[in-house]
Amino acid sequence: SSMRVLASGGKIVSDPGLLSTELAPGSWSALWNQRLRWAQGWSQVAMRYLWDGLRNRQLSLRQKVGLAYLLGWREIYPWISLQTFPILAFWMLRGSPPVSWFVPVFVATTLFTFSAGVVQAWSAWRLAAPELRKRGRWFLLLGAVSQLFYVELKNVITRTAHLKEGMRERRWKVTPRATRLLKPVKPIR
């Protein structure tokens, strides 16, 4: 729906005061299925709207750059990130001729690969509600877990979604939620 709004010349705004209280998936398999469904949906949106959006004369250069990043880069990044360690290992083992560590494309993709989790954690902290921002250790933990585990998990999910989309497998699995009752949350006043 956001892509249709942009294509028709509309503007999208957000309210930083809105908080989501959605329940997270209750198991790893539920999380996998939810994120796989989301990734496949993003891929479908990218295939449908990316090129039309980039050719749309109503969009500003800033909007087109954002669109290219949001829909284009997120689709190719999981595949490019796979290449970082093999290329590094090859260059280190090859030894001769001397490695040029400043090949611009390699430097850019390596920086993107190694900084994504940390940048996301910093952005989450920076934009968090004040009561959450006070818990800085949470965000440090998020940065560490993202760097060591979660970024690659998201990449694996996206690559899997691409393969499912390529095979036209579009059967969705509904994400189950925890069935135990939670204590009511006191409203903030």
Least trusted range by pLDDT, from 21-25, 70-74, 98-102, 156-160 = 98-102
**For the CA atoms of the chain, what is the radius of gyration?**
20
Cis peptide before 97 (omega within 30 of 0): yes
Q: How much of the chain, in percent, has pLDDT values that exceed 90? A: 28
Asked whether the CA dihedral 118, 119, 124, 127 is positive or negative, the reply is positive
**Rounded to 5 degrees, what are φ and ψ at 35?**
-70, -30
Question: Which among 142, 38, 151 is positioned nearest to 84, based on CA atoms?
Answer: 151
Give this prediction's pTM. Answer: 0.72
Q: What is the pLDDT of residues 109-144, one digit of tens each?
A: 777 767 878 888 899 999 888 888 899 899 999 888
